[in-house]
């Protein structure tokens, strides 16, 4: 790999008599099994290539007129990238889930009409999916969480819990058919298991369960392709169901905006919930507490879902008069 990069650098130097200031490189999270995105911003550039090293950063080989590559050998060289009109180029790399955690440093070589430059070096550490775990300690939400329909949600971290409250209710902002409520999520690629400890309650009296009108908190697994097409997602949630089954865990799968749900009666709107993705199969579970055996709700065969899903806590109210909150003690992510 060194010879490939050295030849590319040598050719560029031959046509680059002057040196431009370094351009910028940034990247997303390095989670094993997920996609890592590297972004080069270099206005006026013609081509760029991202070099990676699993041996960290050092003062590397130096070439006349270019400077020193700051990556330890051996190198992995990404594809040649053609920047857009603003000089931005992105390189997406799926990190193998079977790799052990360890360093991954990156630096980009940028070719302009008159010069060859090196970007800054971005060191980092590849981490297992459990890096997404959160015990909601402190007073602020940890970095890395994203929001879908964030304008519909009020949230806070306090007392070792994440507290969610929907700001609006009704079918349009409930997780049913085309309606989608708020979602706090991490993007997860491939197979995984997500587990959370939570309780749902009535805002007007937290000692009471939510109203029996589809008022719940839980976990959603949403296909981001739903942004531009019919809704595709699944969820498992606890709270108020219907008058005949007032306290439930709900198991729901929505395919092309058609929802299929089952309300399972439970003793209290709390406990642990779990979703496992293995290939095309997503299985949903509930148990009252950590000492109880898991109750299998249903398994859903969903080959239509994309390789990446938005996964995390939700809360929703079918009634326009919102009287439901959900508090999460913790959430964990593992590879099955």
Q: Which two tokens stand for residue 213?
A: 């009108």
Beta strands in 114-223 (DSSP E): 116-118, 125-126, 146-148, 153-158, 161-166, 183-189, 192-201, 215-222
Would you state the structure tokens that stand for residue 211, as one six-digit string?
A: 């109203």
For residue 23, what pLDDT is reported?
87
Q: 170: which 2 tokens?
A: 């009704």
Q: Give the three-state DSSP class for 206.
A: coil
Compute the distance between CA of residue 167 and CA of residue 323 in angstroms, rounded to an integer.
Answer: 10
Domain ranges of the chain: 2-126, 129-334
Q: What is the model's pLDDT at position 180? A: 97
The Cα 60–Cα 58 span in angstroms is 6
Sequence-ordered list of residues with C-beta below 8 angstroms from that of 15, at least 6 positions apart, any chain:
none
Q: For residues 261 and 249, what is the distance between their CA atoms, to the nearest angstrom?
A: 10
- d(CA 175, CA 231) in angstroms, rounded, equals 10
- Check if 2-126 and 129-334 are the same fold: no
3-class DSSP assignment, residue 317: strand
Give the pLDDT confidence score for residue 203 in this predicted structure.
98
| DSSP-derived 3-state class of residue 83 | coil
Cα 336 from Cα 334, distance rounded (Å)? 6
The alpha carbons of the chain give a radius of gyration, in whole angstroms, of 24
CATH number of 2-126: 2.60.40.10
Q: Which residues make Cβ contacts (< 8 Å) with residue 84, sequence separation at least 6?
A: none
Using DSSP's 3-state secondary structure scheme, residue 105 falls into: strand
For the chain, give the number of residues: 336
**pLDDT at residue number 272:** 98
- pLDDT for the residue numbered 73: 83
Q: What is d(CA 255, CA 206) in angstroms, rounded to the nearest whole number?
A: 34
- 178 sits in the region (left: phi over 0; alpha: psi -120 to 50; else beta) called alpha
Predicted model pTM: 0.89
What pLDDT tens digit does each residue of the chain (336 aa) get?
A: 344 444 444 444 343 334 344 589 999 999 999 999 999 999 999 999 999 999 988 876 666 666 677 888 878 889 999 999 999 999 999 999 999 999 999 999 999 898 888 899 999 999 999 999 999 999 999 989 999 999 999 999 999 999 999 999 999 999 999 999 999 999 999 999 999 999 999 999 999 999 999 999 999 999 999 999 999 999 999 999 999 999 999 999 999 999 999 999 999 999 999 999 999 999 999 999 988 999 999 999 999 999 999 999 999 999 999 999 999 999 999 998
H or E segment at 90?
Answer: strand 88-94
pLDDT at 249: 98
* Predicted local confidence at residue 237, as pLDDT: 98
The pLDDT, as a whole number, for residue 262 is 98
8-state DSSP, 213: T
Domain 129-334, CATH 3.40.109.10 — does that match?
A: no
């Amino acid at each position: 790999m060194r010879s490939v990069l050295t030849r590319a650098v040598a050719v560029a130097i031959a046509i680059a008599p002057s040196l431009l200031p370094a351009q910028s490189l940034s990247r997303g999270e390095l989670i094993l099994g997920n996609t890592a995105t590297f972004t080069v911003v270099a206005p006026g550039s013609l081509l760029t290539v991202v070099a990676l090293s699993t041996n960290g950063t050092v003062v590397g080989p130096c070439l006349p007129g270019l400077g020193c590559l700051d990556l330890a050998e051996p190198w992995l060289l990404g594809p040649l990238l053609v920047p857009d009109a603003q000089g931005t180029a992105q390189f997406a790399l799926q990190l193998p889930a079977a790799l052990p955690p360890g360093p991954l440093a990156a630096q980009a070589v940028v070719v302009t009409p008159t010069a060859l430059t090196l970007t800054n070096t971005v060191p980092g550490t590849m981490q297992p999916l459990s890096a997404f775990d959160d015990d909601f300690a402190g007073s602020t939400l940890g970095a890395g969480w994203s929001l879908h329909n964030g304008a519909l949600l009020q949230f806070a971290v306090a007392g070792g819990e994440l507290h969610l409250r929907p700001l609006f209710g009704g079918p349009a902002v409930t997780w049913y058919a085309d309606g989608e409520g708020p979602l706090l999520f991490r993007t997860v690629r491939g197979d995984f298991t997500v587990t959370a400890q939570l309780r749902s309650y009535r805002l007007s009296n937290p000692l009471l369960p939510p109203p029996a009108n589809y008022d719940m908190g839980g976990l959603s697994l949403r296909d981001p392709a739903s942004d531009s097409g019919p809704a595709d997602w699944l969820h498992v949630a606890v709270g108020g169901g219907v008058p005949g089954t007032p306290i439930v865990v709900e198991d729901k799968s929505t395919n092309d905006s058609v929802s299929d749900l089952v309300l399972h009666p439970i003793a209290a709107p709390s406990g642990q919930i779990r979703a496992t993705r293995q290939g095309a199969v997503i299985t949903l579970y509930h148990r009252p507490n950590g000492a109880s055996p898991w109750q299998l709700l249903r398994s859903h065969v969903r080959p239509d879902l994309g390789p990446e899903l938005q996964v995390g806590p939700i809360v929703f109210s079918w009634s326009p008069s919102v009287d439901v909150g959900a508090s999460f003690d913790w959430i964990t992510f593992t590879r099955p």
